[in-house]
Chain A
Amino acid sequence: MSVTESTPVLRDERRELASLTVRAHTATGRYAAAAVATILVGLLAWSFAINEAVGWADVRSYLFNPRILQGVVVTIEITVVALAVGFSSGLLIALMRLSKSPVLRSIGVVWVWFFRAVPVLVVLIVANNLSLLYPDLGIGIPGGPMLFGIETQSVITPFLAAVIAFGANEGAYDAEIFRSSIRSVPKGQSEAAQALGMSPRLSFVRIVLPQAMRVAVPPLSNNTINMLKGTSLVSYIGVADLLYTSQSIYSQNFKVIPLLMVACLWYLAMVSVLTVGQSLLERRLLNGSRRSRGDLTLQKELFNHG
């Protein structure tokens, strides 16, 4: 009997089935998994909360300690300056890699290759020891006399070394993001700009770059967050950032875990601020129509895109 044929009886059964309401089947497995996970997380949180070694009182008393706050400021300073160095060098290298000149393209490739291949910690230590490599910095004739120079040791502070190392590293990664996001803008966009008589510079700044940024912001923010955390490496060269300060305090009072907790909380806070900033920026750049989406609350924004 073929499927399309039906006896009167079958026909009625089918009608009855067709009249029933649809409901989702009970996800027993999913409920069980959620319950188990909740219990495990709860136990972990409990064990942590009642753990004497955490020393919550100490955490509270050191959280806003002036030295710790100073460390937070240093971490932010390194991040912000290195970010500026990274963005500008990244954009420059991206433009070199998109250039028609094979020489500029190659230099861009080598730059990216070098700073992606050498660990940032190594670059950091080399930058900090630059005076051993170049005792004097200045402008001169290669192999000839120095026209203007200054002792390396007097300029390259550990802070500057940190900014150079993280900036160069960030720049190499950002360059790849800028390059691919610029290339993702359809060719028709710059052609339309050209056809309107816009110069290449105007077309890039007003038409191509804003659209490229829509694509670039999420990965750039990701890199920025990575870098902020990565700056904790500066404790190797004795810059008094958040981690280094926490360590130097606990090396005196041996409150190791409370001070590491303090550092964790501050990193969590700083990264959270960056994450919120990222979603706000993304929303701004993606505003298909800013006005019609005004009804979305900030809260919704944060929880949907965290």
Chain B
Amino acid sequence: MAEPIIDAIDVSKSYGDKLILDQVSMSVHQGDVVCLLGPSGAGKTTFLRCLNHLEQPSSGAVFLDGELLGYRRAKDNLVELSAVEVAKQRQRIGMVFQQFNLFPHMTVLENIIEAPTKVKGVSKSDATDRARELLDSVGLLEKLHERPERLSGGQQQRVAIVRALAMEPEVILFDEPTSALDPEFVGEVLDVMLSLANRGTTMVIVTHEIGFARKVSARAVFMDQGKVLEEGSVEDLTDNPQFERTRDFFGKVL
């Protein structure tokens, strides 16, 4: 089997003596769509943030294409990489946030081309062409010169997805991308994500949208109390859960 794009091994995280993640392991291969499901406080978001080192694991390791993320080995220890080195690794991992986090002092276009031009050194005209193409694909080309504040939540989140795509990442992490949206805008964001999945984009998604997970025939990972309880197809988990906790959870959300 090919090298996984993301290989997380025994990732643990604790704040003080509170254990948030307890030895979570997961591999994501090219073209996979993985949905992290589970009750709030299960550690899904923390785990997702460990996958691009926004959160530093207390122990365990994440490998990006076989390369250790955020640390290097020094004899018997792992030593934190410099911020510049981590930034380099992060270029290969996109992220979409619950609160969109678009840059309010920039237009939509500026939001999208900022990282490609300033980080990757793509020329402004190439980056702009690409941005237009991507915006067009999510139906927002006419918003090119708008400020994010003038866009609806759904539009902002679609721009945020485009901003992540513009860096041409190998995998995109989604942290509850529809949780902050008014119900009327959830569909348009899920549609964009669905078409990404259909085009073979590798995605890891923290979500409560079981219907969406089913539709993209994602691999589902059910987390509870900082641990992976079970994983499999969405149908496996919803229709044939192995644990009481899993059954409870899906009984409530479905």
Q: Number of B residues whose C-beta is below 8 Å from A?
A: 33
B97 touches A191 (CB 8 A): yes
Total of A-B residue pairs, C-beta within 8 Å: 73
Within 8 A of A (CB), among B67-90: 83-84, 87-90
Whole-angstrom distance between the alpha carbons of A277 and B108 in the complex?
28
Whole-angstrom distance between the alpha carbons of A195 and B93 in the complex?
7
A194 touches B87 (CB 8 A): yes
Closest to B120 in A: A197
Task: Render A198-214 as a binary contact track against B, CB cut-off 8 A, 1 for contact.
Answer: 11101000110011001
B87 touches A197 (CB 8 A): yes
Is B54 part of the contact surface with A, judged by Cβ < 8 Å?
A: yes
Is A253 part of the contact surface with B, judged by Cβ < 8 Å?
A: no
B54 touches A194 (CB 8 A): yes
Is B99 part of the contact surface with A, judged by Cβ < 8 Å?
A: yes
Closest to B146 in A: A289
B103 touches A189 (CB 8 A): yes
Whole-angstrom distance between the alpha carbons of A202 and B116 in the complex?
13
A191 touches B54 (CB 8 A): yes
Q: Number of A residues whose C-beta is below 8 Å from B?
A: 23
Known: A200-B83, A289-B150. A195 touches B95 (CB 8 A): yes
| Chain A positions within 8 Å of B90 at CB level | 194-197
A196 touches B167 (CB 8 A): yes
| Chain B positions within 8 Å of A200 at CB level | 83-84, 87
| Chain A positions within 8 Å of B88 at CB level | 197
Closest to B86 in A: A194
Is A192 part of the contact surface with B, judged by Cβ < 8 Å?
A: yes
**Distance to closest chain A CB from B89 (angstroms):** 8
Whole-angstrom distance between the alpha carbons of A186 and B101 in the complex?
9
A196 touches B163 (CB 8 A): yes
Task: Render B165-179 as a binary contact track against A, CB cut-off 8 A, 1 for contact.
Answer: 001000000000000
B97 touches A288 (CB 8 A): no
Whole-angstrom distance between the alpha carbons of A192 and B104 in the complex?
12
Q: Which residue of the partner chain, among A195, A198, A202, A214, contacts B54 with CB atoms under 8 Å?
A: A195
Whole-angstrom distance between the alpha carbons of A206 and B114 in the complex?
9
Whole-angstrom distance between the alpha carbons of A189 and B111 in the complex?
12
A198 touches B145 (CB 8 A): no
A195 touches B52 (CB 8 A): yes
Within 8 A of B (CB), among A278-306: 285, 288-289, 291
| Chain A positions within 8 Å of B119 at CB level | 196-199, 202
Closest to B116 in A: A196
Is B149 part of the contact surface with A, judged by Cβ < 8 Å?
A: yes
A188 touches B99 (CB 8 A): yes
**Distance to closest chain A CB from B39 (angstroms):** 23
Whole-angstrom distance between the alpha carbons of A210 and B110 in the complex?
14
Whole-angstrom distance between the alpha carbons of A283 and B82 in the complex?
38
Whole-angstrom distance between the alpha carbons of A171 and B163 in the complex?
38
Does more than half of chain A's interface fall in helix, strand or loop, or is it mixed? helix
Q: Which residue of the partner chain, among A186, A199, A210, contacts B87 with CB atoms under 8 Å?
A: A199
Q: A residues within 8 Å of B by Cβ?
A: 186, 188-189, 191-200, 202, 206-207, 210-211, 214, 285, 288-289, 291
Whole-angstrom distance between the alpha carbons of A208 and B83 in the complex?
16
Is B115 part of the contact surface with A, judged by Cβ < 8 Å?
A: yes
Is B94 part of the contact surface with A, judged by Cβ < 8 Å?
A: yes
Closest to B52 in A: A195
Is B147 part of the contact surface with A, judged by Cβ < 8 Å?
A: yes
Within 8 A of A (CB), among B27-80: 52, 54
| Chain B positions within 8 Å of A195 at CB level | 52, 54, 90, 93-95, 97, 164
Whole-angstrom distance between the alpha carbons of A85 and B167 in the complex?
39
Closest to B147 in A: A289
| Chain B positions within 8 Å of A289 at CB level | 146-147, 150
Is B18 part of the contact surface with A, judged by Cβ < 8 Å?
A: no
Closest to A205 in B: B118
| Chain B positions within 8 Å of A206 at CB level | 114, 118
Within 8 A of A (CB), among B94-129: 94-95, 97, 99, 101-105, 114-115, 118-120
Q: Which of A188, A192, A214 has the most CB atoms of chain B within a 10 A radius of its CB?
A: A192
Known: A194-B54, A199-B84, A200-B83. A188 touches B97 (CB 8 A): yes
**Distance to closest chain B CB from A165 (angstroms):** 35
| Chain A positions within 8 Å of B54 at CB level | 191, 194-195
Closest to B166 in A: A196
**Distance to closest chain A CB from B160 (angstroms):** 8
A198 touches B118 (CB 8 A): yes
Whole-angstrom distance between the alpha carbons of A17 and B188 in the complex?
50
Whole-angstrom distance between the alpha carbons of A183 and B146 in the complex?
26
B145 touches A291 (CB 8 A): yes
| Chain A positions within 8 Å of B84 at CB level | 199-200
B101 touches A189 (CB 8 A): yes
Task: Render B140-151 as a binary contact track against A, CB cut-off 8 A, 1 for contact.
Answer: 000001110110
| Chain A positions within 8 Å of B118 at CB level | 198, 202, 206
| Chain A positions within 8 Å of B87 at CB level | 194, 197-200
Is B233 part of the contact surface with A, judged by Cβ < 8 Å?
A: no
